[in-house]
Amino acid sequence: MKFRDGMWLVAEGKRLEYAEEVYSINETEDGKKLTLLCPTMQIRSRGDTLNRPTLTVELEAAMDDVLSVQITHWHGALNKGPHFDLFPSGRPTVNANIQKTEKGTTLSAGNLSATVSSTPHTFDIRFHNKTNTHKLTSLQNRSVGLSYSPATSSPMQTSDMRNINHHILTQSTLSVGEQIYGLGERFGALNKVGQAISLWNADGGTSSEQAYKNIPFWMSNRGYGVFIDAPERVELEVGSERCCRVQTSVEGQRLKWYIIYGPSPKEILDKYTTLTGKPGKVPSWSFGLWLSTSFTTEYDDATVLSFLEGMRARSIPLEVFHYDCFWLRAFHWCDFIFSPAHFPDPASSISKLKASGLMNKVCVWINPYLGQASPVFKEAAEKGYLLKRKNGDIFQWDLWQSGMGIVDFTNPAAVEWYVGCLNKLFDIGVDSIKTDFGERIPSKDVVWFDSSLDPEKMHNYYAFIYNKVVYEALQKRFGKDEAVLFARAATAGTQRFPLQWGGDCESTFEAMAESLRGGLSLGMCGFSFWSVDIGGFEGTPDASIYKRWVQFGLLCSHSRLHGSNSYRVPWLVDNDDETEQGCSAVLRKFTQLKCRLMPYLYSTAMESIKHGLPVSVRAMAIEFPEDKTAWLCDQQFMLGESLLVAPVFDESGGVEFYLPAGKWTSFWNDEVVEGPKWVKETHKFDTLPLYVREGSILILGKEGEMRTTWDWTKDVEVKTFFPNEKSSFKLVDPDNKNLATITAVKEGDEWKVKGTDALA
């Protein structure tokens, strides 16, 4: 939202008041908090203290290297929930102190400091490292304010605020060359400078400014991040109202955000996910290939069996079979009952499929909505489990499902009932849940069961509680570390309930690139696990697009073949081309490659969740923060810290990608390329640029490996790539037990590998 008309004028219909000076500073005895009283006029006489607003700025040490900043206008305004679940693993201790000098008052938390200038009649807060050698950002003149819309001409008008919108805004400075990343799964330019962004979950596909996963967190290439502690709609002007500032605004009487000092991206994400929660652990089987029925296709038991037998006949290892929406009866979504006409005995058929080894696990689609044609709608309505309008009616509309209602997860009884429905699915053999939707949650004319909650805040936050309910139900049934979702909607903290996938993309190269940018942005918000619809969701991919999606998708942390109105089994895409460049051969090669990479991939995943790092589609800048070019790369990614992947986005097979400094070894032929440099290559469908970083140690399974979970100490190959004193790899098993720590040690002029005694 823009509040000004250029530099000099206020936007039409708005009244702006800015904090013009710091009038007084109060500090707490424990040295952890400063409270600043900031009038909206420079106070030069006693009369200036009358008939004008003040803004209160509170600076508080939250944990080492993290400070909170809260701006409040009227303190008497209710601060309704929901509130983000912060420090879910406990709040760390903080080393905080306050120092006063002639230049100002400084609050420090660990290595992060905020200095409030002592210059009279100024508003100036600078954020920097403790030694003041690394300046991060600042709040300067006209950077903290409030707005009335429509514009008021007299304070008397604010006696009735029912038709006046009130916003709080901050503008933190952008330095020369500063770049901003994150803010959820955004599909446009990776660097957000120049963009206006509204953090409001929407079912808008992957090719617009809308996003399914709006995360109020961004990261700067200057060594800090900002988490906006606001579940409601947050509007950002990232260098797009004032080119040298990031403007953040919310409707209400207060705005709170946290500034997090790294200085490296890895350190920023580690501290951010300490604040909002570390990603959950996922089972090793979930890394294998998932196959879906697709959305609106016609399928039944026979179709499913034919797909599974077709995959086995082509030696394509399959881990999970997913039943999408139409496992349910039409107009009965989502009542948790298999369509009897298509699946007369689902428990028996699922049991037989598992026993046959055609697949190991089953996933089904659900959403948190109930169509009124189903008997469960009546049951839920009568028991008060559905969201209501202000007049007492159940909230219903015909968007998506006819007359559908929305499950009210703020009602504990509704949660218990919903979990009971899930347990019936688990009883018949379902192992995982695709938690679709959860974005189109109304915020007007609704009342939640918990009436203390603000409907505006519930719009985005619904994704958190919806996925939490299902994830914890899976944990309770299958074990703490055996739960896995396939979720679409998210907000801050939802990384705790993995995994998320990218939503409804088109079957084009352009959409494939959009999806990658979305995954990169989400990964820079503390989400470790991410997937994408291989082949694209909307439309029918031709063989070229399908095979390039396969390459990309199988090198994501999780991999699922899924579409809308067409199947995604490979033999139906290219008329069962049996050559080495055919769809089946490409899918077989990259699925088996992922199985072969499992010792590296799973161990990398377990290390990543400790620090809130993306496993795959890891932005280059996370690994190479000192390389300015790495911050610009949005068509390639790191798979862990050792493997660089550059998907091919062109029918010709041509691809251009960037290799940072060091020696890079082609995974396919051991050819070595010295970086930093841009490289152009042309690839057939059985390869893509896949390079191993200098200093890496890889533990690989045998060629043609067909299993996702196996004994990662047997039949493995240990490969080193220009080892050095930092070369080390910790191999863990699915129980997160350390199996071996492999290191490189220099003996004379040669490097030797140590720690392989446990490997056979």
Rounded distance, CA 752 to CA 10, Å? 68
Rounded distance, CA 712 to CA 701, Å? 7
Q: What angle do CA 251, 257, 260 make, to 5 degrees?
A: 160
Q: Is the pLDDT of residue 471 over 90?
A: yes
Task: Copy the structure tokens of residue 410.
Answer: 């703020």
Q: How do residues 20-42 score in pLDDT, each as one tens digit?
A: 999 999 999 999 999 999 999 99
The answer to whether the CB of 52 falls within 8 A of the CB of 24 is: no
Task: Copy the structure tokens of residue 611.
Answer: 């620090």
Nearest to 147 by CA among 31, 17, 39: 17
Task: Copy the structure tokens of residue 689.
Answer: 């640029």
pTM value? 0.97
Element (H, E) at 592: helix 583-611
Rounded distance, CA 406 to CA 425, Å? 20
pLDDT band at 735 (very low <50, low <70, confident <90, very high): confident
Catalytic residue IDs: 436, 439, 504
Q: How do residues 557-569 score in pLDDT, each as one tens digit?
A: 999 999 999 999 9
Q: How do residues 288-338 score in pLDDT, each as one tens digit?
A: 999 999 999 999 999 999 999 999 999 999 999 999 999 999 999 999 999
Q: How far apart are the first and last CA of the chain?
A: 61
Name residue 317's amino acid.
P
Residue labelled with tokens 């039949």: 715
From residue 205, give the alpha-carbon distance in Å to each of 16, 194, 433, 547, 552. Answer: 35, 22, 21, 22, 19
**Neighbouring residues of 614: CB distance < 8 A, sequence distance ≥ 6:** 519, 522, 523, 524, 527, 528, 530, 557, 608, 622
Q: Is the pLDDT of residue 760 over 80?
A: no
As a whole number, mean pLDDT of residues 171-176 equals 98
Q: Is the pLDDT of residue 360 over 80?
A: yes
Element (H, E) at 313: helix 301-313
Q: How do residues 522-532 score in pLDDT, each as one tens digit?
A: 999 999 999 99
Rounded distance, CA 190 to CA 583, Å? 31
Name residue 209's amino acid.
E
Rounded distance, CA 528 to CA 614, Å? 4
Task: Copy the structure tokens of residue 563.
Answer: 């579409």
Residue labelled with tokens 């640029």: 689
Q: How do residues 415-460 score in pLDDT, each as one tens digit?
A: 999 999 999 999 999 999 999 999 999 999 999 999 999 999 999 9
Q: What is the pLDDT of residue 758?
A: 87
Q: What is the pLDDT of residue 611?
A: 98
As a whole number, mean pLDDT of residues 379-404 equals 97
**Neighbouring residues of 28: CB distance < 8 A, sequence distance ≥ 6:** none
Domains in the chain (CATH in brackets) are 4-77+95-276 (2.60.40.1760), 285-364+415-440+452-611 (3.20.20.80), 637-754 (2.60.40.1180)
Residue labelled with tokens 């406990």: 90
Residue labelled with tokens 């996702």: 708
pLDDT band at 736 (very low <50, low <70, confident <90, very high): confident
455-478 vs 412-427: helix crossing angle, rounded to 10: 40
Q: What is the pLDDT of residue 287?
A: 98
Q: Is the pLDDT of residue 749 over 90?
A: no
Q: Which residues pair with 534 in a beta bridge?
A: 561
pLDDT band at 661 (very low <50, low <70, confident <90, very high): very high
As a whole number, mean pLDDT of residues 233-246 equals 98
Task: Copy the structure tokens of residue 108.
Answer: 């420090």
Q: Is the pLDDT of residue 734 over 90?
A: no
Nearest to 260 by CA among 92, 443, 119: 92
Task: Copy the structure tokens of residue 433.
Answer: 């849940």
Q: How do residues 668-688 score in pLDDT, each as one tens digit?
A: 999 999 999 999 999 999 999
Q: Mean pLDDT for the chain?
A: 97
Q: What is the pLDDT of residue 414?
A: 98
> φ, ψ for residue 238 (rounded to 5)?
-90, 90
Rg of the chain over all Cα atoms, to the nearest angstrom = 27
